[in-house]
Structure 1
């Protein structure tokens, strides 16, 4: 089992990263929270979860062990797979998720794409005792409007949404708030799609 991968970022999107580790390029699925403050050419250490399926070996990467622990707790819940867990972690910070679960706020969990009432309740029931509420602040940087739009739409497509619907929602969000970052746009779009 892999614990972490350390190396240079050679490719980066809001949903994935390719890390060159001694000549091997590892394709790693990431959440928006992990994506923050990353840039091509910089070195990174990502804690990983390796999902081995019959048809694929997938890597999921996390900025710190705590986010990986939350991811593992999420996928331990019946009905929550790796992609759903990644969408949840892309929709809110770890601290926001912990607070949501600790307070039993199933309404907020239901705003995440792919989470219905039963799954939201199951997440809260299964994880409420395992999660402590904490307060982290989200750090975001500003990007150019067109670049923000392109990256946000690309990330939504990679998360399984249709291009036309994604582009429409992203344009609407950016027309209302042009200063939004890629992360903010995607998080808002996930609640609208």
Structure 2
């Protein structure tokens, strides 16, 4: 199995990259999260998951091990294939998916194209304990439980900040101040952005 690739980025597209490793170009399927975090035209390192099927060999690449682990957990659920898992990771940040699963937030999981109510419930039931265990992150249950998180993110977006940047800052604030109000979140985020 191929666990990681390190080499020169030859081609970068929204759904895939080609990485030259010692003269061999590997075609690696990626999520939008990975796409936005891979630098162009440099040496890159991606963590991979090699999926072997009867009719195909597919190589999926991830910017970090956490994203790869979430992908592996998702494809272990009946009804979630590699393409659906990649769509989930393209639609939401990996941490956001983990928060939604850990907190039983079926609506967030259902917001991904192709995931219905039954599949969302199955993801939560199958992965709730595993996601906390694999990530070994007790903050998961704290961050997503704050109802003001989405309101704060919407307000920051309205003010012109990128959602990804705002999410990281707001989640960091919530990890240290889980009971912060929407106003406190916005004020603290503005200081850090």
Q: Provide TM-score, normalisation by structure 2.
A: 0.68
Q: Which residue of structure 2 lines up, in the alignment, with residue 90 of structure 1?
A: 90
CA distance in 2, matches of 1:55, 1:124: 30
Larger radius of gyration: 2
How far does residue 40 in structure 1 lie from its aligned partner after superposition? 3.2
Alignment of 1:144-183 (within 5 A): none
Q: Which residue of structure 2 lines up, in the alignment, with residue 22 of structure 1?
A: 22
State whether structure 2 residue 68 is matched by structure 1 residue 72.
no
Describe the SS at the equivalent of 1:129. Answer: helix
CA root-mean-square deviation: 2.3
Alignment of 1:40-55 (within 5 A): 40-55=40-55
CA offset digits 1:137-162 (Å, max 9, x no partner): xxxxxxxxxxxxxxxxxxxxxxxxxx
CA distance in 1, matches of 2:68, 2:39: 21
How far does residue 94 in structure 1 lie from its aligned partner after superposition? 1.1
Structure 2 residue runs without a partner (length 5+): 133-139, 144-157, 165-193
Q: Which residue of structure 2 lines up, in the alignment, with residue 102 of structure 1?
A: 102
CA distance in 1, matches of 2:46, 2:39: 14
Describe the SS at the equivalent of 1:67. Answer: helix
Structure 1 residue runs without a partner (length 5+): 136-176, 184-193
Q: Which has the higher contact order (CA 8 A, sep 6+)?
A: 1
Contact 1:9 1:42 in 2 (8 A): yes
List structure 1 runs of 4+ shifted beyond 2 angstroms: 37-40
Describe the SS at the equivalent of 1:104. Answer: coil
Q: Provide TM-score, normalisation by structure 1.
A: 0.68
Describe the SS at the equivalent of 2:131. Answer: coil
CA distance in 2, matches of 1:180, 1:8: 31
